[in-house]
Structure 1
Amino acid sequence: MTKKNKQSQLSQEWIIEALIQLLKTKNYHDITITDITNKAGVARLTFYRNFKDKDDILLTRSYQLFEAYFEELKANNKLVTIPAALHLSFNYWQRDAETLDLLIKNQLFYLIEQPFYSFLEKIIAENSQLNQLNTIQKSFILGGTTQAMRSWITNGSKDSPTEITETLLKIINLATLSDHS
């Protein structure tokens, strides 16, 4: 990595962290670019070299988190099982619960859903079972999983990632359960 790329990456990290810190004390819509650059200790030009607006900061952060999640799935060869992929996703969300809660409180949850859908497509492409899903099924997984995560975070993430994964898997298995009635 060149010195310029390293500096750009550091600037991005500082700006992302500055916005997250500001969200702890201010409403998202009241935070200005000047607030962010002052908190990050970077010039306004540096901000615009890296991001187009505040949403772009949070989208970039979401994509970075989902990329790390996806790489961990691939490295551990967990793409083959839905339970492992779900469990790992809730582990990631639990680690980031404070920031996710800030996004939810500021009505910015859509900045999680968009990247999640992109990575769902990547996971589906890597998994032969999931590859057979149609658009409706993909939408159900996206909506169900993200809304479950939203509720879980909003309610203080009291259940462990294992418990929440088992709860969701029971719902997915309802058709199988009803066949045994």
Structure 2
Amino acid sequence: MNGQERLAQQSKAWLITALFDLLVEQPYETITVKQIAEQAQLSRRTFYRAFRDKDDLLDAYNHEVGQRYLNALQQIAPQKMVFKDVLTYFFEFWWQERKQLRLLMEQGLFGRMLAKITPMANEIYRVFPAPWHIAGSPTETAYIMSFAVGGFWNVLSQWLVKDQPESPAEMATLLMAGLQRLGETSD
């Protein structure tokens, strides 16, 4: 990456940070591109070189964080992990994003993130072929992955809005215990 590309990446990061700083103070609907650029100490021209509008900026964050999660999963050896390890990893990753996620939830923008992340579910399944994943038709796999993603995101939305959320390890333990009980009662 050359210097100009690094500067463009840094500008995008500053603009994303500026958007979240503004979300603390006011509703998303009232935030303007001018405010975002000023908060980032950049020109509107710089903003428009990177993004069409503030929705594009928010979508870029959603895509970027989803891509970071996907990249992080690729670093794990799934054949050596048990399902509880994956749950712990899931909660630890999103715990790092909890301030941004909470703002998105409070502003009614969390669904936008889910819409960006859900299509990545099949990619996650492809790059992270864990032993507990189902083997089935592409249609069956797509539905099961959508079901799982939706479930995980609903858990995130209940967990991170709490004033005192449980730790990632506690969440993994709670969810694992609940899933085990669910499996026991389905016979």
TM-score category (smaller protein) = 0.7 to 0.9
| Deviation per residue, 1:9-51 (Å, 9 max, x gap) | 0110110011011111111111000000111111212111211
Offset of residue 77 of structure 1: 1.9
Runs of 4+, deviation exceeding 6 Å: none
* C-alpha contact 1:124 1:131 (8 A) present in aligned 2: no
Offset of residue 171 of structure 1: 4.0
- What is the RMSD of the two structures over their aligned residues, measured on CA atoms? 2.2
Aligned to 2:154: 147
**Partners of 1:140 and 1:171 in 2: CA distance:** 17
Offset of residue 174 of structure 1: 4.5
The TM-score normalised by the length of structure 2 is 0.84
Give the paired residue count: 180
Offset of residue 157 of structure 1: 5.3
SS in structure 2 opposite 1:130?
A: coil
Query: Within 5 A, what are the aligned runs for 1:103-118?
Result: 103-118=104-119
The TM-score normalised by the length of structure 1 is 0.87
Which runs of 5 or more structure 2 residues have no equivalent in the other structure?
Answer: none
1:87 is aligned with what amino acid?
T
Aligned to 2:120: 119
SS in structure 1 opposite 2:25?
A: coil
Offset of residue 97 of structure 1: 1.2
Offset of residue 113 of structure 1: 0.4
Task: Indicate the larger mover: 109-118 or 168-177.
Answer: 168-177
SS in structure 2 opposite 1:76?
A: coil
**Partners of 2:179 and 2:58 in 1: CA distance:** 31
Which runs of 5 or more structure 1 residues have no equivalent in the other structure?
Answer: none
